[in-house]
Structure 1
Amino acid sequence: MRFFNGNWKRKLVGPWTGRRVLFFAVLLGVALGWLSFRAVDRLGMPVRTGTNEIGGSYRLMTVSNDTVTEGDFLGRWTLIWFFDTSCPRSVCVPTLNVLSETVHDLAAAHISAAALAVTLDPMHDDSDRLKSYVLGTAPEVRPLTAAPRVIENMAREFHAPDEMMTGADGARYHRPAPRIVIMDPHGGYAGTADADMQAAALVERVRTLAGRH
């Protein structure tokens, strides 16, 4: 027995009118938007590499809960270093001091610079810990944090290590970045410097990159 004639498909689907096309386009847009929202919710805002060999766009939080991005540092040489506050002070504080001294000395040479110290342990390093660890000894350095996934993405883009260390007292901490990333005033990657470099050498490194040596 034949229940359907040859026109059943046409009756079920119907013509693709402008209204029907618009409906399915809106439905698809809603679905894609929901999937994008779920991805951002799970992964955090992505770090966009752009054309840089190292580095990319980022959105971080200051110890005053203000938001900063790479755009806030355009026009300045930016020195970016990764650490956490569980790092033994004898290991990490010297680099923070060098960064702070470098920014001060570059200003004296009429070269505008900013130094950013980004925590690798945002779940542990709250604003009070960051202020106490960084600003007490290196006032020219800006301690920054963000959601864990954002920090993970940024550390990867800036080639920071993903490795845990054990201090002499048995405390665990993230291995600090062995190199400081230098971004030029246009936000592009300019080079790196050893994290154990002295301030005078780091100043000369930036002056060379700026064509001011």
Structure 2
Amino acid sequence: MPARSQPLPEGGGRDKAAVGVFTPMTAALFIATGAGLFMYFRYEKQKLAEQKQKELENREVGRPKVGGPFSLTTHTGETFTEKDLLGKWSLIYFGFTNCPDICPEELDKMSAAVTVLDKEYGPIVQPIFISVDPARDSVSQVRRYVSDFHARLLGLTGDYDTVKRTCKAYRVYFSTPPNTQPGDDYLVDHSIFFYFMDPHGQFVDAFGKASTVEDVVARVQKEITAYREETGKTV
């Protein structure tokens, strides 16, 4: 006998569950895939954020330990501490007012760099001169001295012990004896650098005699740009 054919499903031969774009299994697979992609991209976004944070932390850890607490007197007679560095970028030079050539040259270079940066960013970079000759560099002496350089150059001085502690915090060498008198004639041997500090009062870089005005400006510009991209702050 010929084989009997099976009856076709009701509705013209197709399973109603298979009609349309999605079967239940396909729909479930689509939903699962979408959820998986969402979780993956969220994981990658979190991973990227954690990696960026780690890079920032490593950047902080990798910085030399330069700077710390201090309390000095400005050339206008006011108290100035490390907390007054916060909120601005700083360029800090340690020297003495009787320096015949090196100090003026470095302060001229620092002042020229700040003048360029002022034109681009406004007064967000604070130039600072700290005396390593407390016996001769009184407030009035420092006031006269800084007036020969940038208009915003801040002069700081203090007694011998205070200056010594500040220099130690900034890893600055100086040879002024503790028992010198204001009228004594002597030169001070000291480190020839000026330091670049960020708005958190953290060390960024140091510039020596070989650094040019252009080197200083380019380095500060690079750091300001990176800081703004990372924090969203305009300082």
Asked if Structure 1 and Structure 2 have the same fold, meaning a TM-score greater than 0.5 normalized by the shorter chain, the answer is yes
Q: Kindly indicate whether residue 72 of structure 2 is the aligned counterpart of residue 60 of structure 1.
A: yes
Determine which of 85, 95, 116 is the counterpart of 1:105: 116
**Between Structure 1 and Structure 2, whose CA radius of gyration is higher?**
2
Seq. identity, %: 24
Unaligned runs of 5+ in 1: 1-50, 165-170
| Partner of residue 150, structure 1 | 162
Cα distance in 2 for partners of 1:195, 1:177 equals 11
Report the CA distance between 1:87 and its aligned residue.
0.9
Distance 1:69 1:52 in 2: 20
Query: What's the CA shift string for 1:147-173, capped at 9, x where partnerless?
Result: 210100111111111236xxxxxx522
Cα deviation, 1:65-121, whole Å, max 9, x if unaligned, reads: 101112222121111111011210x22111111222222211222161111110001
Moved more, 192-201 or 109-118: 192-201
**Partner-residue secondary structure (3-state), 2:187:** strand
Counterpart residue identity of residue 218, structure 2: E
Q: Which residue in 2 is equivalent to 1:3?
A: none
Q: CA, structure 1 residues 66+195, in 2 after alignment: closer, same or farther (shift >3 Å)?
A: farther
SS at match of 1:205: helix
Q: Which has the higher strand share?
A: 1
Cα deviation 1:36-63 (Å, max 9, x = unaligned): xxxxxxxxxxxxxxx9611112211111
Counterpart of 1:128 in 2: which secondary structure?
Answer: helix
**Superposed displacement of residue 146, structure 1:** 1.4
State the match for 2:171 in structure 1. Answer: 159
TM-score with structure 2 setting the length: 0.60
Residue ranges of structure 2 left out of the alignment (5+ in a row): 1-62, 177-184, 227-235
Give, in angstroms, the shift of residue 134 of structure 1: 2.1
1:177 is paired with a residue whose SS is coil
Q: Tell me the matched-pair count.
A: 156
Q: Residue 212 of structure 2 is aligned with which of 178, 198, 207?
A: 198
**What is the TM-score with the length of structure 1 in the denominator?**
0.66
